[in-house]
Chains A and B, each alone.
Chain A
């Protein structure tokens, strides 16, 4: 655990320096370009682009989470059970539709900019969260559910005080998956003029500048690893709190 944590702290530190003072890595990135090419992307501020990238992912996954979790709650209530196949189908379509196609279809309706990217990421994020929430809510221990009715909780109290807290680690795992996918997928948003790190990569590709591609790719990659790890740690902590692990095991 200790060396792993150290490595992550180091990665985070490097990332911050790269975003705030990219010129510090000038000599390193110069290794990948011809002498006439700029080694560091300067057509836009790397920090601003990264924050915009993160914001787009956060909004899209936030919306996916709200819709997917609500749907999963709905179809696990007695009155909503008949919607289960329908909502599964919707979430599956969201997943099987390639994000590029969603972008292409959304541009004529929403125009260029952030909106089509948000729609694509939102749709793409639905399924993992929906499926995980469904699993979490349908595999709760039988005797605990019985007890929650037995002590006289209303349906709403059971949902908010017992079912969701116990399912939370599994729901979070779904959110983690969707977030990491969205972090990578958001790069293609630059093709329709959303401000994401794809901009840096595309600039590199069109001018044959490997250093740009590397910068964009590295930032996305390190972000994905760090976010993935933090959410995993959060899940573990929650799972421990919900009694699936004892403190001694931790």
Chain B
């Protein structure tokens, strides 16, 4: 659990983060969104003491972080930096192994961990281990940056726009991977992003920042349905609201009894995918399959009801 308690950071008297308080529950993803310069990075960097707050406290699992040596705190917290920040004089393997090496893992453990992570991020170890960062594409550099943050299996992961340089396909894959890793290890993730879509897909909670202030801290459904301020509403995009809402749920959670014509849809797809597919194929309903069995149906009527503003 990360408890942020009326934290303030001022530079030359100007507050950059202004009395922000929020509690990030353990094993959840908190997506921080906001315009450029709203203080997202500064907020993130106060959690691992890269920035010293002007006032306020941050506690991790109840422990005030001011009582932990900065370098020890940082070895416990994974940090994927905005724009990767790989060590240019170290190979991919040395970069990923940085924190485990500081923690004095054995050589064999470090090497195994490096291969495991490279495979996870679809970079063939035999091909990429010994490359220097300058010999990677921007997207590959970013993935190595995230792999480095994950290397020592931290309980807390801070990510500053980690998927910014990825193309949509790899980006979607990286997001899925993050969710899988987060669920498997119960990592607490604080993720800064510019992309509302990403925030809604990944975040258990979304923190909306503007000019240093925290405008809203709530689950995506609430941020979409009950935006705290006009600014939050604008950030979500007024015309996108129903579709964003649909993207939050899976077909499996809103199954109707009965049957329908045409190709079945997977129960794991989102309602938004179902809506899109129904419109595209000109059907008013479609059968739903799970593990190769038909389990019910999904209909336009039901989707239209679910897309309406929550009461």
Seen from chain A, the residues whose Cβ lies within 8 Å of a Cβ on chain B are 141, 143-144, 146-154, 157, 162, 165-166, 241-247
Q: For A147, A244, A246, which residue has the most chain B Cβ atoms within 10 angstroms?
A: A147
Residue of B nearest to A149 (CB): B50
Residues of A within 8 A of B148 (CB): 151
Partner of B85, one of A143, A165, A244, A247: A143
Q: Complex formed: what's the CA distance from A151 to B145 in Å?
A: 11
**With known contacts A146-B81, A147-B81, A150-B81, A242–B89 Cβ distance under 8 A:** yes
B86 at interface, CB cutoff 8 A? yes
Q: What are 19 of the A-B contact pairs (CB < 8 Å)? A: A143-B81, A143-B82, A143-B84, A144-B86, A144-B87, A147-B81, A147-B86, A150-B81, A150-B85, A151-B148, A152-B71, A152-B73, A152-B75, A152-B76, A241-B132, A244-B88, A244-B134, A247-B132, A247-B135
How many angstroms between the C-alpha atoms of A241 and B70 in the bound complex? 30
Are the C-beta atoms of B87 and A147 separated by less than 8 Å? yes
Which residue, of B76, B84, B88, has the highest number of chain A Cβ atoms within 10 A? Answer: B88
Whether the pair A143, B89 counts as a contact (CB closer than 8 A) is no
How many chain B residues touch A (CB < 8 A): the figure is 27
Contact A148 B87 (CB under 8 A): yes
Taking beta carbons and an 8 Å cutoff, which residues of B are in contact with A? 48, 50, 70-76, 79, 81-89, 98-99, 102, 132-135, 148
Set of chain B residues within 8 Å of A144, measured between Cβ atoms: 85-88
Chain A residues with Cβ under 8 A from B72's Cβ?
152
What CA separation (Å) do A149 and B71 show in the bound complex?
A: 7
Determine the distance from Cα of A146 to Cα of B51 in the docked complex, in whole angstroms: 11
Smallest CB-CB separation from A154: which chain B residue?
B71
How far apart are the CA atoms of A166 and B90 in the complex, in Å? 10
Q: Give Cα A17 to B311, complex, Å.
A: 96
Within the complex, what minimum Cβ distance (angstroms) separates A79 from chain B? Answer: 16
Cα separation A154 to B133 with both chains bound (whole Å): 23
CA distance A246 to B103 in the complex (A): 31
Please measure, in the bound complex, the distance between the C-alpha atom of A247 and the C-alpha atom of B132, giving whole angstroms: 9
